[in-house]
Every structure is written in C-alpha cells, then in structure tokens.
Amino acid sequence: MILASQSPRRRELLRMISAEFEIIPAHGEENIPVGTPADTAVMLLAKQKAREIFAEHKGELIIAADTVVAVDGKILGKPADGENAREMLKQLSGRTHSVFTGVCIIAENGGEKTFCEETKVEFYPLTDAEISDYIATGEPLDKAGAYGIQEKGALLIKRIDGDFFNVVGLPVARVYRELKLMQVN
C-alpha cells in the first residue's frame, strides 16, 4: 500500500486502517480548470496524484487525497502567508463552510475508485485578537482554510456536521469501506 501524500496527518489517519504502507508523495503539477466546483476539484487532484504514483508503481495499491475548504463557492487552499491566513479566518468567522476531501484509490489490478466526502464546519465569531493569536501559533500556514481542527484550531469551531477525520484530511471510515468493497485487504 502506498500513500501518495506527504501529509503527516494523513499518515496518522491511514495507520488506523493499516500499519503497513509506504509514503511516496506525488510531485506533479496540480491542474484543475478555473471555476471547477470544490467537490469536483478535490477528486480531480486526488486522481492526478494517484495516477502519477500508480504509473511508477504498477501492481501496488495507491491511496491519494486532496482537501480544500470552500465558502461561498470559493476554494480556500493553504494560505501564502500570515496576512492571507488572516483574510481566510475572517471569511470563516461566525459562518459555516464546507471541507471537501477527494480520495482516489487504485487497486493493484488497476481498478480505480474516486469519491468525495463533505463535512460542514461552523466557526464561532472571531475577534481580531483571536485571529492574531491563532496565526502566531504558526498552525494556519500549512493547512487548507488556514486552520487545523485537530490542534488549537479546535478552539475556533462551534460545531461540525459530518466526518471529523475528513476535516483533518482523510475520511478514514469511508476509505476503509471503499477498500473492503474493492476487496483490498
């Protein structure tokens, strides 16, 4: 089994399914057409990653994923810097947004399954000081939407509707079930 991601969070989550896997991150350019809806975009990106690694490792099971935050139809990726993180957190403050994770699994025989999981996340209204304090932790800078639900970002969140692990970066239970349906052990 190969996880086509360098995300330490995905690595931890995949360990819930299997202790035996290799990490080989995809390095190809991420291409999605402008205006692509978030749910479609994450599936396209996951598929690109999985196919890139499968091309180099035929006969191996590949799991690839991509996660984005979307609000008002706009995708919020990882912030470029602290100011960009501030803008994102202001957009999310006091509102509900969606977290989409696209997953592509390619079985050893080349069979492929791609799906998307959506979780709704509601933020408390945030003060400028709360946003500044959170940015000062450094956590927002490598996370889609500028927050990590599994770290101090949890203090910003009023409620979630859906899979918690999806927000972290991999809908573990769904991945497990899809592997079973594909009869992958």
- Tell me the pLDDT tens digit for each residue of 109-152: 989 999 999 999 999 999 999 999 999 999 999 898 999 999 99
Residues in contact with 51: Cβ distance below 8 Å, sequence separation at least 6, in sequence order: 104, 106
Indicate the domain borders of the chain.
2-181
**CB atoms near residue 6 (< 10 Å):** 12
Per-residue pLDDT at 10 exceeds 60: yes
| pLDDT tens, position by position, 64-99 | 999 999 999 899 988 999 999 999 999 999 999 999
Q: Which residues pair with 3 in a beta bridge?
A: 23, 63
Q: In the prediction, which pLDDT does 185 show?
A: 52
What is the Cα–Cα distance from 80 to 146, expressed in whole angstroms? 10
CB 122 within 8 A of CB 96: yes
Instruction: At 122, give phi and psi (nearest 5°).
Output: -110, 130
What is the Cα–Cα distance from 49 to 92, expressed in whole angstroms? 28
CB 39 within 8 A of CB 102: yes
Residue 39 annotated as catalytic: no
Instruction: Note the residue count of the chain.
Output: 185
| pLDDT tens, position by position, 170-181 | 999 999 999 999
| Fold that domain 2-181 belongs to in CATH | Maf protein (3.90.950)
- Catalytic residue, chosen from 39, 66, 72, 133, is 66
Angle at 35 between CA 31 and CA 158, to 5 degrees: 100
The DSSP call for residue 125 is P
**Does an H or E element contain 117, and which?**
strand 112-123
The DSSP call for residue 95 is S
Q: In the prediction, which pLDDT does 33 show?
A: 80
